[in-house]
Amino acid sequence: MNKIGIIGGIGPASTLVYYRGIIEGYRELTGDNSYPQLYINSINMTEMLDFVAAKNYEKLVDYLSNEINKLISIGADYVALASNTPHLVIDKLAARSSVPLISIVDETCKYAKNMGAKKLLLTGTLFTMQINFYKKAFEKYNIECIVPDDSDKAAIHEIVFPNLEDGLVFEKDKREFLKICNTIIKNENVDGIILGCTELPLLVGKDDFDIEVIDTMDVHIKSIVNKIFESSGSGT
């Protein structure tokens, strides 16, 4: 069985969902009452985001690589970062890692390609919406990725921080998020909306929109489960 290492704590609320989702997803696939073995390294989100905000990407890579290596040292065969934002340096992290990284961005692109998407709206933290790592990844699949304007980016970011990062969900935040997104959906004729922050599914889901909703956390969790399952004996 592949042993998975998770870089968590970015944020804590979604890390809980990852843990539960991996356990439940694996048990559903195997059907034999067994559990997967996984390791969680819960890191300091504030320290990580300080590097991102300062655009000190070299320090960010050093910091995350060190935390990834801790998981590798205790036996992780694969590592996944339970957050979208740090994937802005995923290529550099992958180059330094001695085990494969399961990228939330790559898995989301594959999912969108399979659903036949041509144009998607990306939402998430300010960093994820401002830095074009998702846009570049989608270009490889001939999918256009658009983001809100600056004022709407700021509004969405303020919904994520601090409330959603602390697991706090408020109806007023949901109303504002839906208003922003539905206006863009109407004006831009997109195929779907990407919940590009692992806390956003705490706020909204597939039933809140009339178009396809891509929950990056759910896509990522299922990819992690499949990676464990493929070496469990049942998946071969």
The percentage of residues in the chain with a pLDDT greater than 90, rounded to a whole number, is 93
Domains and CATH numbers, the chain: 4-104+219-229 (3.40.50.1860), 105-216 (3.40.50.1860)
Question: Is pLDDT above 80 for 114?
Answer: yes
The Cα 29–Cα 136 span in angstroms is 33
* Nearest-angstrom CA–CA distance, 66 and 167: 27
**Cα 191 from Cα 88, distance rounded (Å):** 24
Give the pTM: 0.94
Cβ 190 vs Cβ 120: under 8 Å: yes
pLDDT tens digits, one per residue of 50-106:
999 999 999 999 999 999 999 999 999 999 999 999 999 999 999 999 999 999 999
Q: Omega of the bond prior to 12 within 30 degrees of 0, cis?
A: no
| Per-residue confidence band for 231, with pLDDT thresholds at 50, 70 and 90 | low
Q: What is the DSSP string of 119-184?
A: EEEEES-HHHHHSTHHHHHHHTTT-EEE---HHHHHHHHHHHTTTGGGT---HHHHHHHHHHHHHH
Determine if the peptide bond prior to 8 is cis (ω within 30°). no
